[in-house]
Structure 1
Amino acid sequence: MCCLYIKPTKNIQNILSVLSFLLVVNVILLFSVNGNAQTLMSGVNLDPGTIVSENMLQVTGSTTFTLSNGIKVHYKFADKNKNDVQFKAISYGGFSLIKDCDFATAQVLSKVMPFFGLGDYSKTDLPKILAGKTANTSIHISNLTESISGSSITKDVETLLQMIHLHFVKPRFDADAYQVLMKHIDNDIIKRSHTINEKINDSITTTLYGNNNPKQRLFNHDFVKEVSYDKLKAVYKERFNNAADFEFFIVGDIQKSVLRTLLEQYIASIPTNDVKEMWQDNSEPWLQDTIDKDIPLKIEVAKSSVRIGYKKAMAYSLKNELIAKALGDILRLRFTENLREEVGGTYGLSIQASMLKRPLEQVSLQIAFDCNPDNVQQFISMASQEIKKITNGIIAQTDLDKTKANFLKERKLQENYNSYDMSLLINYFREGYNMNAPKNFKDLVNAITAKDLQSFAKALIKDSKSYEIVFSEGVDDR
């Protein structure tokens, strides 16, 4: 529930999305005719391992398999979604262990790798080999972790685990596909550099972190020049070189007896070593503790965009995480009523409060809205007043009751899906708590009071670091 990490800046996230568009199947392999799954493993010499221990855990209803190569697999049967099996492998490290000179390459790695195919097969040939199978896998690197995710229908779990095996043992790199892809990226950078949202995101990044921060980059031609084919191979092999440093999770509609054999064949056969990694704190501070800036931009529509943010060091707890979320939801209710209904003239509103756990325990509040240029200062003042009301204990009980009811309703709906059981296992084994225990959710939600919100908001605002950035019609000098 709770990893804090410095996400890639929004402009980088947006530009990377074009790669998903260019990747026709977006790493998801859905096929319709019969084929021989074993051909996927051509050129791979499998040396099956064994399951050396099998421990059942009643509190989660799961079984942990320890394999002969040191990998641990946490498994739970779940058929809330029939004919659905989900996979996840997670390891600590991520961007936090990447050298600055390789950071740009690492940022694009997870979007580029699907263009190369897998094992002996290119992206074009892979669908032919996997005809008749429904399985998908993807890799991901975040600030603190690297992971492999996947899913399949029940009959194709073997194919899913074969693909996982190949991600560790025989990833594919394609120099020709890389060259074509980089040309597409260069063209897209030119197009996106003229969009107002990209200009806003770039400006926020440079305002908070400066022009040359190695971890908070603008996705531009200079960024792309630092990406190289050789670096892609090196970074991938560095981050995914030891499967025993990953924790494996399998949840879904597959019987334990069937899974055991497949684990020994495809997962226990992955070569491993004894090297274990841990994330490092590479969090980046803002340039100043308080930032107040007006930025002129050439905007076609007559509007201004406002971004307000607060952050403060605060001890993490499940209780604080829920209170932070409640604070954001209640502020959204109040802003929506006041800014849209009473005053009018807003074009968009986003509010998020979150409690973060690592690498730093910290709470943050972010507010974003667009409005008529004539109303900017009025709306900023109203936003400040709504926050001040909560710090003064002026909180409508109806707003609090509605927010708490929504929390409980959302959780009830989540429990109807296999994905909930995946979260249950990940939070139990990696975060150390049981999502099903009332004391870790239901009791905490019911116990939230107006006084809790007041105290939390006071602690957040007092001596916090903050920014207020207003983008208005003007001459864009960039």
Structure 2
Amino acid sequence: MQSILSVISFLLIINVLLLLFSVNSNAQPLNLNDSLELDKIVAKEVFKGEKGLEAYTALRPHIDTLIEKELISNITINKGSIISEEMLQVTGSTTFTLSNGIKVHYKFVGKSKNDVQFRAISYGGLSKVKDSDLPTAQLLGNIISLSGLGDCSATKMSKLLAGKTTTTHIHLSNLTESMSGVSTTKDVETLLQMIYLRFVSPRFDINAYQTFVENLDREIKERRHSINEKINDSVTATLYGQYNPRQRLFNKDFVKEMSFDKVKPLYMERFGNAADFEFFIVGDLEKRKLRPLLEKYIASIPTSDVKEVRQDNSISWLKDTIDKKITLDMEHPKSSVRMGYKNNVSYSLKNELVARFLGDILLLRFIEGLREEKRSVHAISVKADVSKRSNKEVSLQIAFDCNLDEAEQHILNINKHIENITRGVMSQTDLDKIKRKYLKERKQEEGCNSYDMQVLINYFQEDYSTDTFKNLDDLAEGITIKDMVTFTKALLKDSKSYKIVFNLDPSAKK
């Protein structure tokens, strides 16, 4: 038994290391179904057969009790209470108000069986962090994940949770701090225990921090050989400057400015008051089973009355119009293009959809044009987006790789496609194709518990009208060529723009 559990623990540790030790890692952790399979394998292999599986199932409550004792050792939980419970018919959700002031929005959703999701969101994020603390703050989630919880190191946690499926993480974005978690239905209590500890007894492990920093140093050395990282850094430096304190390059200086002494103060500043967060629980979990767990673990978290608001610390480009060519050494010659436009456009759900359709149509036209001309372009990306927060901007970002010295011709073609849209020269067939793609993706998303989680977040945090959200398909269907023309004109009129062409040429060494 010990050997099999050790293997499972090792797999869990490897997943954490792959996901967290590399800032830009593409590695993926075990998903929920994979972890469930591992749980079954442990049961069948250790206890042998169906009778053994029954024995394993019977043993689980004792294992759960042991985990609680181990996780929440040396802590006295002062159980709280639910002081009100309000059902909201339009969302199909229930809002619990707890005795410590925390609000929890809950919805039973059984689309994805045996899956429970948790989110807690508060405004502030990196916008409230001083420039000198940003390097540590930007990697705070990685550091905390590697530090363990309460009295348990990350290694002990992985052993303790072997055979269970539950994870929690913290996140810091520009405008929010948040906590997320996922578990199977049977492991929800462990999930809430971990959430409790994230607020009441976070762990700051100097050894985990030092190991993390050592891995960052190695990654920085490896980045020197990555042409994509060189390009990304060059784009950042071109738009915001080499030493912009809010748009830092990931290099040795960045790591040198990190400090373990800043980890705890930053964490407590961002996550020290649970009442400043709005909690969401969605999934395959009955209300009667959730209520006592909320009273025990969430209502018992100490809170204060302090509430934060986000700050607008958006950064402008160095110039309104940027046109630059950069030559970099590379073994295989090619050109790499980065283009962008931005302008002030008011936010609306309709504008968000029109922006998305604009990006999709430009990508479609660009690809079709390449086929007609029998030209080759790689790594094409076209994305348009409307910011709801802070600066209320619409942005259009375009990136592609092509043969050396063909960049300017492709740029002309892209601009031609954009100009055609402003003149109404676009195909209804293209627009209909993009709509069908969008509606198909929405239908697929609706089949997952995560969709309902996003609906609740949009309703309570983003002030979405439920009628608007329910009629999102109708809103998408109603977008016309005229809407696309009006929006694209607003984007381009007196817009800020950049065009950066990278010529990657082996002769650059000479």
Match of residue 323 from structure 1? 354
1:54-453 aligned at under 5 Å gives the runs 54-434=85-465, 437=468, 440-453=471-484
Query: Using the alignment, how far apart are the partners of 2:125 and 2:25 within structure 1?
Result: 25
More helix by share: 2
Structure 1 counterpart of 2:68, which letter? Q
Query: Using the alignment, how far apart are the partners of 1:411 and 1:435 within structure 2?
Result: 16
Query: Using the alignment, how far apart are the partners of 2:422 and 2:272 within structure 1?
Result: 49
Larger Rg: 2
* Paired residue secondary structure (1:113): helix
- Give the C-alpha shift of residue 348 in structure 1: 2.0
Query: Using the alignment, how far apart are the partners of 1:22 and 1:454 within structure 2?
Result: 38
In structure 1, stretches of 5+ residues that fail to align are: 1-13
Looking at both structures, which has the greater relative contact order when contacts are Cα pairs under 8 Å and sequence separation is at least 6? 1
Query: Using the alignment, how far apart are the partners of 1:392 and 1:22 within structure 2?
Result: 41
Query: Using the alignment, how far apart are the partners of 1:443 and 1:208 within structure 2?
Result: 39
* Structure 1 residues 339-396: Cα deviation after superposition (integer angstroms, max 9, x where no partner): 2442412122100011111111110001101001131111111011000000110010
- Give the C-alpha shift of residue 149 in structure 1: 0.3
CA contact (8 A) 1:318 1:440 kept: no
Match of residue 18 from structure 1? 22
- Give the C-alpha shift of residue 16 in structure 1: 7.1
Aligned length: 464
* Structure 1 residues 235-276: Cα deviation after superposition (integer angstroms, max 9, x where no partner): 111100000000000001111011000000000000000000
CA contact (8 A) 1:15 1:219 kept: no
Query: Using the alignment, how far apart are the partners of 2:242 and 2:172 within structure 1?
Result: 24
Work out which of the residue numbers 457, 464, 468 in structure 1 matches 2:499. Answer: 468
* Paired residue secondary structure (2:146): helix
Query: Using the alignment, how far apart are the partners of 1:166 and 1:25 within structure 2?
Result: 22
Structure 1 counterpart of 2:494, which letter? D
Match of residue 8 from structure 1? none
Query: Using the alignment, how far apart are the partners of 2:364 and 2:119 within structure 1?
Result: 36
* Paired residue secondary structure (2:22): helix
- Judged with a 3 Å threshold, the aligned counterparts in structure 2 of structure 1 residues 62 and 148 are, in CA distance, closer, same or farther, namely same
- Give the C-alpha shift of residue 473 in structure 1: 3.1
* Paired residue secondary structure (1:116): coil
CA contact (8 A) 2:336 2:504 kept: no
Match of residue 456 from structure 1? 487
* Paired residue secondary structure (1:66): strand
Query: Using the alignment, how far apart are the partners of 1:125 and 1:16 within structure 2?
Result: 17
Structure 1 counterpart of 2:414, which letter? A
CA contact (8 A) 1:90 1:246 kept: yes
CA contact (8 A) 1:104 1:227 kept: yes
Task: Work out whether 1:38 is the aligned partner of 2:42.
Answer: no
* Structure 1 residues 36-79: Cα deviation after superposition (integer angstroms, max 9, x where no partner): 23121112210010000000000000000000000000000000
Match of residue 55 from structure 2? none
* Paired residue secondary structure (2:416): helix
CA RMSD of aligned residues (A): 2.2
* Paired residue secondary structure (1:69): coil
Query: Using the alignment, how far apart are the partners of 1:358 and 1:298 within structure 2?
Result: 39
Between 190-199 and 217-226, the greater mean CA deviation after superposition: 190-199
CA contact (8 A) 2:19 2:29 kept: no
Percent identity, aligned pairs only, is: 59
Between 433-442 and 308-317, the greater mean CA deviation after superposition: 433-442
Query: Using the alignment, how far apart are the partners of 1:252 and 1:150 within structure 2?
Result: 12
Between 81-90 and 187-196, the greater mean CA deviation after superposition: 187-196
Query: Using the alignment, how far apart are the partners of 2:327 and 2:357 within structure 1?
Result: 34
* Structure 1 residues 154-185: Cα deviation after superposition (integer angstroms, max 9, x where no partner): 01100000000000011111111211221111
Between 135-144 and 186-195, the greater mean CA deviation after superposition: 186-195
- Judged with a 3 Å threshold, the aligned counterparts in structure 2 of structure 1 residues 167 and 439 are, in CA distance, closer, same or farther, namely closer
* Structure 1 residues 163-216: Cα deviation after superposition (integer angstroms, max 9, x where no partner): 000000111111112112211111110111221111101100000000111110
Between 366-375 and 332-341, the greater mean CA deviation after superposition: 332-341
In structure 2, stretches of 5+ residues that fail to align are: 1-17, 43-59
Query: Using the alignment, how far apart are the partners of 2:30 and 2:202 within structure 1?
Result: 17
CA contact (8 A) 1:355 1:362 kept: yes
- Using the size of structure 1 for normalisation, the TM-score is 0.93
Query: Using the alignment, how far apart are the partners of 1:25 and 1:71 within structure 2?
Result: 31
Between 437-446 and 405-414, the greater mean CA deviation after superposition: 437-446
Query: Using the alignment, how far apart are the partners of 1:121 and 1:214 within structure 2?
Result: 35
Query: Using the alignment, how far apart are the partners of 2:216 and 2:418 within structure 1?
Result: 42
CA contact (8 A) 1:27 1:137 kept: no
Query: Using the alignment, how far apart are the partners of 1:463 and 1:24 within structure 2?
Result: 42
Structure 2 counterpart of 1:397, which letter? Q
